[in-house]
Amino acid sequence: MLDKGIRGQQEMTVTREDTAMVHGSGTLQVLATPRMAALMEETAWKSVAEYLESGMGTVGIRLELDHLAPTPVGMKVVCESVLDKVEGRKLTFSIIARDEKEEIGRAVHQRFLVEEEKFQKKAEQKND
């Protein structure tokens, strides 16, 4: 059962593949904002996955992200999420990311509960 208060945590070490230069979001060898966003979404969806019925999943529908500080290649990042609200099929999370020195990102993220097979079919119909 999905209830507010469910927590999630993911860790990563920043590699060259995670940088702004590689992700096309800048020219520097620091953690890219799009990569941080992906880590935040991953942390949120994985935190609730075990509470979902078979065949159900979540999709991201909104992400408000503040990238607060740079993180160099080789440094570890820890991302933590908390499910703050469950409003029908809409889930709202607060998320914080920290590197080994400081808080580097903060976000509010919303996800929507979907029937995976039905959702996938709807998406694929766009190719028809």
- The residues assigned a catalytic role are 33, 41, 67
Tokens matching residue 48:
């609730």
What letter represents residue 67's amino acid? Answer: H
Instruction: Report CA 117 to chain centroid distance, whole Å.
Output: 22
Contact 14, 73 (CB under 8 A): yes
